[in-house]
Structure 1
Amino acid sequence: MDLAHAARLLKGVRDATLSGQRPHVLPRPVIGDSWGRMMLRGVDPDHDIRSRLLTEEELAERRHGSPLVDILPVLRDALVSVADAAHHIMVVCDADGRVLWREGSSAVLRKADSLGFEVGADWGEGVVGTNGVGTPLVVRRPVQVFSAEHFVQTHHPWTCTGAPVTDPRDGRLLGVVDVSGPLQTMHPATLALVDSVAKLAEARLRDRHVTALDRLRAVAAPVLARLAGRAVAVDAHGWTAAVTGMAPMDRVTLPKALAAGRAWLPSLGTCLAEPLPGGWLLRPQDPKDGTEPLAATRLVLDVSSPRHWTLAVLGGARDWTHDLSPRHAELLFLLATHRGGRSASGLADDMFGDPARTVTVRAELSRVRRYLGGLLAHRPYRFHEDVDVQVLLPGIPEDLLPHSLAPAIRRARSVAEP
């Protein structure tokens, strides 16, 4: 690849886009979408903005509280030596885009300092524009940003490749691992390498979770053996370690702040919750096997944030707020905009542009019904007609589920009203 020619071509594409003209070659969709967000946010394309660095105390607190600290050895073993030899640096950032760790070529580290790419800096997309840290945080998939694909001109001598790392227990976004370096050192295989290492790190977190569940199971087994009736032992994220007197289940949806005593859970009904080391013992008190519908008159789907989405179930004695995964946020938004209902094939077409991909849609909506119960009907899939559904949209249309590639949601962004 002629890197200098490619950089000049991309600069022409960027300049035409920023001036409101249609370039001869369109930017990649992930880059074009990001540029659109930056222009609407008023990010300066010609001058970089330096965020306030974290203090030493703030940095230490974030490092200590980040699950990424447990997978640093994996990231270092897989990337640092490669990055150093290739004149790159490895950068690990949290879910806010704050740089927590940097390692690699000392010469490149000094160049990064000149850009403000320092430990403690905020490299979120809304601060420094399209880049290999902030953009993967928004779109939730690996992204390589080459030269003038960076929105801010001062970043054009760089190539940055980042991949998000998510918590396998609850799908929560933990941060991004990024490999960055001078334009001349760019290699197309870097994207595959960084993505593979991020997946390896997630696998290590998954192994740690399995080990924690095994410890909880060892504690819970003798307790369950003494109980009559139904009971289930779960970890703090609701994953099942042991069960007695009821059908096995993978996971129980828990409220954000579960406390000892009586609690109501969507999948189990009224339960007695007792703390266990590393989790909870849940003893269902309702004989209906948890099939009762939620007592509610209103649902509030909040997709106003570009990176965090919730569903609130309101109007009864059992108000409930649930954090949504990216896929569930997409599906519930589509159902909220089609109150008459959508078939599985219709939703598959909305999501994937392929009406035949119904298996994925049905599987995901089956999971949704575990916490919505009778509020979500099927044949066709729809919200119950007696429930008022409110959707909170972002102020910037491009911030509507920006990770989503679903054709219907991309169309919704183009017509969304602030």
Structure 2
Amino acid sequence: MKNTQLDMARLAAMDAVQATRLLHRVRDETLAGRTPPIAPRAVIDASWQRMARLGLDPDRGTSSVLLHRDELEHRRRSTLLAEVMQTLSGGLAGIADTSRQIMVVTDEHGRVLWRQGNPAVMRRANDICLEEGAAWTEHTTGTNAVGTALAMGRAVQVHSAEHYVHALHNWTCAAAPVHDPRDQRVLGILDVSGPASSFHPAMLPLVASVAQLAEAEMRERHRRSVERLRSVAAPILCRVGGRAVAVDTHGWTAAVTGLAPVDRIALPKSVRAGRMWLPSLGQCAVEPLPGGWLLRVEEENAPAESGADAASRVVLDLSRARRASVSVSGAAGSWQQELSPRHAELLYVLALHRGGRTAAELADDVFGDRSKTVTVRAEMSRVRRNLAGVLAHRPYRFREEVAVEVLRPEHPGDLLPHSVAPAVRAARTPAAGQ
């Protein structure tokens, strides 16, 4: 019976040859359905299970159809990561070079956009198709730091035979997601890879720290852009009668009049000038501003809490590992918003319990701790700010007149894979997912 589990510190303390042999044995026994001498790390075991469900051949190669040069350049120009490449490179490229490794930056689809580092290792990386334009998701390359970090939404280190595909067993890699601070969407992955002999457990916290540094830089850039929008919008709002708010293209509030101030208003993916219904405001007249939008609330609107008449159906889409979203539709139109991991958990629990949940019950469902009611109330306040016409409280629940549908992944084990919420973990068993 497995009663111990591998960890990176233990591997680092072992002789390199001994550690490699142990990892190979753990992998071979696990993939064969037998009990290994020590359990693989939980994040690796979960990834191996996903690969088995996909039917991925562990003896396959790592070849990939590369992006054409013009498509590669387009993706480089289109991503916010281009603005912080100097920070990413300055934090890791030199270290990667001296430690016989390379730094890799991918987009949110796992496509390699940039790589820098040790020239000899870059030549070796070409042999496994770790080059610009290549795809490195789990679906294409099996368990690897880039693809598994994308799947899990958190920093991951994968060493030697922890890779699912045999061709990567001579490699070690550490990767962390880089998030857009405006909406927490994953922009891409920062990774350091090299020969297995260059493995060190400290590389993962280093990569994660540099990713966080880049996020902080983007956060400051965004703060300055909102300040610029505020300087343009403030005099306009002084002349506008009634209720209005100026927001940037991601819904962050720059200036407001006649409304309670909020940090952010959820906008649909496609916004254009004209009339638009928003769950948090009702029917609005939308006008462009430099770097954002002016939303003028039409005065015939009822207060936002009565907006349930406009919403008749909610679709909670949890079918994609990293892109949970909620869609609201009704007589006034439709609207969609991507969800943070925490908000996806909360809405999933409320979809399971149409009769409603108290703050203490939600705290137990999400945190396994009924005392965390203050945290739950704060999160639910943010959720209800965007779904005022859909959610009620006392207890928290979807309104009775709103039909709710949950789109789950094909396999229950892939439900919100990043989540450790007790309610989600219980739903990952095949019986619960039926």
**Is 1:291 aligned to 2:305, yes or no?**
yes
Superposed displacement of residue 74, structure 1: 0.2
CA distance in 2, matches of 1:196, 1:402: 23
CA distance in 1, matches of 2:20, 2:376: 41
Asked if structure 2 preserves the Cα contact closer than 8 Å seen for 1:268 and 1:291, the reply is no
The corresponding residue for 2:375 is 360
CA distance in 2, matches of 1:126, 1:48: 13
Matches within 5 A, 1:314-329: 314-329=329-344
Q: Which 10-residue stretch deviates more, 130-139 or 376-385?
A: 376-385
SS across alignment from 2:306: coil
User: What is the identity, as a one-letter code, of the residue corresponding to 1:269?
Assistant: G
CA distance in 2, matches of 1:59, 1:320: 31
Matches within 5 A, 1:15-414: 15-286=28-299, 288-294=302-308, 295-414=310-429
CA distance in 1, matches of 2:349, 2:17: 43
User: What is the identity, as a one-letter code, of the residue corresponding to 1:26?
Assistant: A
Superposed displacement of residue 108, structure 1: 0.9
Superposed displacement of residue 308, structure 1: 1.4
CA distance in 1, matches of 2:240, 2:398: 38
Asked if structure 1 preserves the Cα contact closer than 8 Å seen for 2:311 and 2:389, the reply is no
CA distance in 1, matches of 2:83, 2:345: 31
CA distance in 2, matches of 1:371, 1:194: 34
CA distance in 2, matches of 1:162, 1:311: 29
Asked if structure 1 preserves the Cα contact closer than 8 Å seen for 2:282 and 2:307, the reply is no
CA distance in 2, matches of 1:82, 1:273: 49
Deviation digits for residues 391-411 of structure 1 (CA, Å, limit 9, x no counterpart): 111112232111212232122
SS across alignment from 2:157: strand
Asked if structure 1 preserves the Cα contact closer than 8 Å seen for 2:427 and 2:433, the reply is no
Asked if structure 2 preserves the Cα contact closer than 8 Å seen for 1:234 and 1:281, the reply is yes
CA distance in 1, matches of 2:230, 2:345: 34
CA distance in 2, matches of 1:21, 1:395: 26
Q: Which 10-residue stretch deviates more, 359-368 or 104-113?
A: 359-368
CA distance in 2, matches of 1:95, 1:67: 11
Q: Which 10-residue stretch deviates more, 109-118 or 285-294?
A: 285-294
CA distance in 1, matches of 2:366, 2:380: 13
CA distance in 2, matches of 1:327, 1:101: 31
Superposed displacement of residue 23, structure 1: 2.1
SS across alignment from 1:292: helix
Asked if structure 2 preserves the Cα contact closer than 8 Å seen for 1:312 and 1:322, the reply is yes
CA distance in 2, matches of 1:417, 1:247: 41
The two structures, once aligned, show a CA RMSD in angstroms of 1.6
User: What is the identity, as a one-letter code, of the residue corresponding to 1:332?
Assistant: L
Superposed displacement of residue 417, structure 1: 4.4
Q: Which runs of 5+ in 1 are unaligned?
A: none
CA distance in 1, matches of 2:224, 2:186: 21
CA distance in 2, matches of 1:107, 1:14: 29
What is the TM-score with the length of structure 1 in the denominator?
0.96
Asked if structure 1 preserves the Cα contact closer than 8 Å seen for 2:62 and 2:128, the reply is no
User: What is the identity, as a one-letter code, of the residue corresponding to 1:292?
Assistant: S
Q: Which runs of 5+ in 2 are unaligned?
A: 1-12
SS across alignment from 1:123: coil
Identical positions, percent:
57
User: What is the identity, as a one-letter code, of the residue corresponding to 1:239?
Assistant: W
Asked if structure 2 preserves the Cα contact closer than 8 Å seen for 1:301 and 1:390, the reply is yes
SS across alignment from 1:333: helix
CA distance in 2, matches of 1:33, 1:156: 18
CA distance in 2, matches of 1:282, 1:289: 16
Superposed displacement of residue 68, structure 1: 0.7
Number of aligned residue pairs: 418
SS across alignment from 2:145: coil
SS across alignment from 1:386: coil
What is the TM-score with the length of structure 2 in the denominator?
0.92
